[in-house]
Amino acid sequence: MTNHSELIETLSRSAEPVQRLAPPARRALVWFMICAAAGWIAVWPMRLPLSLFGGTSDTLSLLALGTAILASLAAIHAALRMGVPGLRANGIGFAMAGAIAWLGFCLAEIVNRRWGIWSLGEGAYCFTFIVVCSVPMMALAIVALNRARPLHPNRALLAAGFGIAMLAAAFLSACHPFRLDVVDFTMHLAAMSVVVAMTALLGYRWVKIPAGKA
């Protein structure tokens, strides 16, 4: 018996039935809907009124909201595809394009409206909103990636964190009077960066393929 044959014997003896992963697109859609509900429930106590269809809505706000949601879906889809060896993370390019468009719409809002550029505005509140909204979504992402165990956990977690941050930003823009100033928007970006970093740092241990034998 060679070393390999002993290992193969051990592995084949421990081969219990496993449940196959559903296709990444279906998992992304289910994950998105559950996350949307969880994120919304998490920020419910903050009592932000849904202002999207209030007096402050305009084309820019709707475009920013739409691109943030699309970028979020694409990033989450890419993260889940990364959990399947041999599949390319197709959504990443689309997610990045969506994020750049979202950034552009937000910057256009800042330039056009000329609100008090250096005023703190609702920055601190928005920071809290994005982080609180993201916490349950992070947990759900880690659970979803833990099931798949991607070969490159860092990349998958970063993509998932990016999707979560974009979704939280979309929620915020649905509740936020679309009145961005520089400091406020910087706080949005800071919160989103924190969410991406937290997802990667907290999730790595649970998502990486554990070392050791079967």
Closest CA to 35 of 129, 140, 146: 140
From 42-50, 79-87, 99-107, 109-117, give the range in contact with other proteins by CB under 8 A.
79-87
CA distance 145 to 142: 5
The sign of the CA dihedral 114, 115, 118, 124 is negative
User: Could you tell me which residues come within 8 angstroms of residue 125 by beta carbon, excluding any fewer than 6 positions away?
Assistant: none
Does residue 7 touch other proteins according to CB under 8 A? yes
Q: How far is CA 80 from CA 22, 155, 189, in A?
A: 10, 11, 24
Q: How far is the CB of 17 from other proteins (least distance, A)?
A: 4
Does residue 152 touch other proteins according to CB under 8 A? yes
The site that binds other proteins (CB under 8 A) totals a number of residues, namely 33
Does residue 20 touch other proteins according to CB under 8 A? yes
Q: How far is the CB of 148 from other proteins (least distance, A)?
A: 6
Does residue 148 touch other proteins according to CB under 8 A? yes
Residue 16: both structure tokens together: 């219990």
Site for other proteins (CB under 8 A): which residue of 54, 85, 93, 116?
85
Does residue 209 touch other proteins according to CB under 8 A? yes
Nearest residue (CB) to other proteins, 43 versus 200: 200
One DSSP character per residue, 73-95 reads: HHHHHHHHHHTSTT---THHHHH
Cα maximum dimension of the chain? 77
Q: How far is the CB of 18 from other proteins (least distance, A)?
A: 4
Contact set with other proteins (CB under 8 A)? 1-5, 7-9, 11-21, 23, 83-86, 148-149, 151-152, 209-210, 212-214
